[in-house]
Amino acid sequence: MTAASAPVLRAENLYRFFHNGDAETLALRGVSLALAAGEMVALLGTSGSGKSTLLNCLAGLDEPDGGQVDLLGLRLTRRPEAERARRRAAGIGVLMQSHNLLPALSLLDNMLLVMTLTGRPDRGRAERLFDELGLFRHRQARPAQLSGGEVARAGLAIALAAAPAVLLADEPTGEVDAATEREVLDVLHARRNAGCAILVATHSPALAASADRVLQLQDGSLRHG
């Protein structure tokens, strides 16, 4: 990100605590970061380092106990849940490890639902996204009829349905082979070149090597790679 680039997503000094009885876990310890349009950032860290917690806070799916997240110049944190959901739908595509597909709907209907909710239904664009991710022949299938890797790619397609300004993806290539990983990388690169800001939590060396920046989370604290 250059000095002149205005961040599309900014987090300042995020803290997140979890309690289990008398035990307290500090999942995020003062994390700050900024994403600019047209850059891809890889977020690395071992399991339990706080990657998923950070993505949830950045997406407005969870509220941090301290700090602030701004999306497109407007505060996302400490807003009513319905307002956070509207701002997220308008600006952020989210792919979590639990995926983002409704099991009763086909892939195409999942995609068209997201597009309709954001006011931008476009069947042609939906089918092009599935084609880019090697899923065109599965577009009428339901999630249960797909392999783990196909579900992950379908989830990525859904996250990109509304052409978001920001994409937050948790392990988008975690269950795919090397050839499919290259297809996913091609899609991510195309979105980055179109101006999307991308933050990807990953264990993939190929994905990390293709990123503009690498960030490392360790015990809830951020380090720059």
Tell me the per-residue pLDDT of 43-71, one tens digit each, with 9 for 90 and over: 998 888 889 999 999 999 999 999 999 99
Domain count across the chain: 1
Instruction: Let me know: does 94 contact 73? Beta carbons within 8 Å.
Output: no
Q: Is the pLDDT of residue 4 over 70?
A: no
Phi-psi region of 21 (alpha: psi -120 to 50; beta: other; left: phi over 0): left
In a domain, 25, yes or no: no
Q: Is residue 3 part of a domain?
A: no
The Cα 200–Cα 171 span in angstroms is 7
Which residues span the domain enclosing 131? 37-62+81-224
Over the stretch 171-221, which tens digit does the pLDDT of each residue have?
888 778 888 888 889 889 999 999 999 999 999 899 999 999 999 999 889
Query: Is residue 29 assigned to a domain?
Result: no
Mean pLDDT on 70-84: 92
Does residue 146 belong to any structural domain of this protein? Answer: yes
Stretch 99-126: mean pLDDT: 86
Confidence of residue 9 (pLDDT cuts 50, 70, 90): very high
As beta bridge partners, residue 198 has 40, 167
The answer to the question of residue 180 being in a domain is: yes
On the question of pLDDT at 14 being above 50, the answer is yes
